[in-house]
Amino acid sequence: MKPKIPAQSGTFESSDVIVLIEPLPNRSGRKIEISSTVMQQYGESFRHIVDGMLDQYEMTDIHLIAKDKGALEPTIKARLETAIKRSLGQQEGTLT
């Protein structure tokens, strides 16, 4: 699936992550940018979670930016799910 609209979820608060999604032109694939206060320790794990969620929703032609402030896995997954569903027009939220 392709994002239909730009969307975001999460906050810049501690223990949270803000996720921004925007659609890319056809056949662009995935462009992922992750920054985190714990990048050195958990960057790889974070990337794995992002890839897993995007695979689950079969997302393509997507630009995803995640700015993490030490979120735990259930929070990361919740924010990714919310941003993806908002970008698909399945849920309402900011930027929609």
Token representation of residue 26: 């056809």
CB of 43 to another protein, least distance (A): 19
Q: Which of 3, 43, 48 is nearest to 21 (CA)?
A: 3
Q: Which stretch binds another protein (CB under 8 A): 11-19, 21-29, 34-42, 54-62?
A: 11-19
How far is Cα 59 from Cα 73, in angstroms, rounded to an integer?
A: 20
How far is Cα 42 from Cα 44, in angstroms, rounded to an integer?
A: 6
Q: Check binding of 78 to another protein (CB under 8 A).
A: yes
Q: Check binding of 55 to another protein (CB under 8 A).
A: no
Catalog residues that contact another protein under the rule CB under 8 A.
9-10, 13-16, 71-75, 77-79, 81-82, 85-86, 91-94
